[in-house]
Chains A and B, each alone.
Chain A
Amino acid sequence: MSRSNANLKRRRPGTDESGLIDSERAVLNSIKSKGNMGIWTRDIKLETNLTDPVVSKSVKSLMAKNLIKEVVNIQNKGKKHYMSVEFEPSKEISGGEWYSNGALDKELIKAVQDMCLRFLRAQKVTTIEGVHNDLKKSRVLTFEPSREQVVDILNSMVLDNNIIEVKSSGLGDYHSIPIGTVCYRVASGAGVAKGGPKKGGFASIPCGACPRISVCTPDGPISPATCVYYTKWLNVEF
Chain B
Amino acid sequence: MIAGYADIEGSSENVGRESFTKLVNARFVEHCPAPDPHLEPPVVDEKGKKKKTQVEEPPLDQRVLAAAAPMESMRFFLEMDDHSEEKGNETTTSVRSGQKRKQDEGELDADKKKEVLWRVNVEEFLRRLRHKACIAHVKSKINEEAAIVLSAMLELSKQSESGLKAEKSEYLSINAIYDEVIKKEGGLGMDFERVRSLLDQLGCETLSTGMDESYCIDIKEIIELSQNEEVESLVMRRYGPEAYRIYRLLSKAGRLMETEKISDSTFVEKKATIAILYKLWKDDFLQMEHVKTSTAKQSDFRLWTINKEQLQKQVLNEMYHAALNLKLRIAHEKDQAKEVIKLPKDKLVGESNTKYVRWANVTRILESCLMDLDDAIMLFHHF
Contact = CB atoms under 8 A, between A and B. Distances in A.
Interface of A: 74, 95-96, 98, 103-104, 106, 109, 152, 155-156, 159-161, 164, 166, 169, 171-173, 187-191, 197-205, 207-209, 213, 216, 218, 223-225, 227, 230, 234, 237-238
Contacts of B143: 188, 190-191
A198 B229 contact: yes
Contacts of A166: 201
A238 B373 contact: no
B318 interface: yes
B230 interface: yes
Nearest to A170: B200
B311 interface: no
Contacts of B139: 190
Contacts of A95: 270
**Chain B interface size range:** 35 or more
Contacts of A164: 141
A207 to B, nearest CB: 4
A233 B142 CA distance: 32
5 contacts: A95-B270, A159-B244, A159-B245, A201-B372, A209-B238
Contacts of B141: 164, 187-188
B232 A191 contact: no
B193 interface: yes
A109 to B, nearest CB: 6
A213 B318 contact: yes
B236 interface: yes
B365 A200 contact: no
B376 A200 contact: yes
Contacts of A225: 328-329, 332
B100 interface: no
A155 B266 CA distance: 8
A205 B322 contact: yes
B193 A156 contact: no
Given A104-B269, A172-B193, A190-B139, A200 B328 contact: no
Interface in B97-120: none
Q: Considering the complex of A and B, which 7 residue pairs feature the smallest CB-CB distances, nearest first? A: A201-B376, A201-B372, A207-B322, A172-B197, A200-B233, A169-B200, A200-B230
B233 A197 contact: yes
B365 A237 contact: yes
Contact of B322 (A173, A208, A234, A237): A208
B262 to A, nearest CB: 11
A224 B49 CA distance: 56
B265 interface: yes
Given A202-B318, A207-B318, 9 more contacts: A95-B270, A156-B245, A197-B232, A201-B369, A207-B326, A208-B237, A216-B321, A224-B332, A237-B365
Given A202-B315, A202-B373, A209-B237, A224 B140 contact: no
Interface in B324-344: 324-326, 328-329, 332
B241 interface: yes
B36 to A, nearest CB: 42
Contacts of A161: 248
Given A159-B248, A200-B234, A201-B375, A207 B266 contact: no
Nearest to B238: A209
Interface string B249-272: 100100000000000111111100
B100 to A, nearest CB: 40
A234 B234 contact: no
B273 to A, nearest CB: 10
B144 interface: yes
A238 B252 CA distance: 39
B267 A218 contact: no
B319 interface: yes
A125 B372 CA distance: 33
A203 B270 contact: no
Contacts of B196: 171
B361 interface: yes
A164 B268 CA distance: 20
Nearest to B315: A202
Interface string B219-238: 00000000001111110111
A160 to B, nearest CB: 6
A213 B245 contact: no
A159 B265 CA distance: 9
Contact of A204 (B267, B269, B361, B372): B372
A234 B376 CA distance: 21
Contact of A159 (B201, B249, B321, B375): B249
Contacts of A200: 229-234, 376
Nearest to A216: B325
Interface hub of B143, B252, B267 (most chain A Cβ within 10 A): B267
A234 B141 CA distance: 30
A234 B230 contact: no
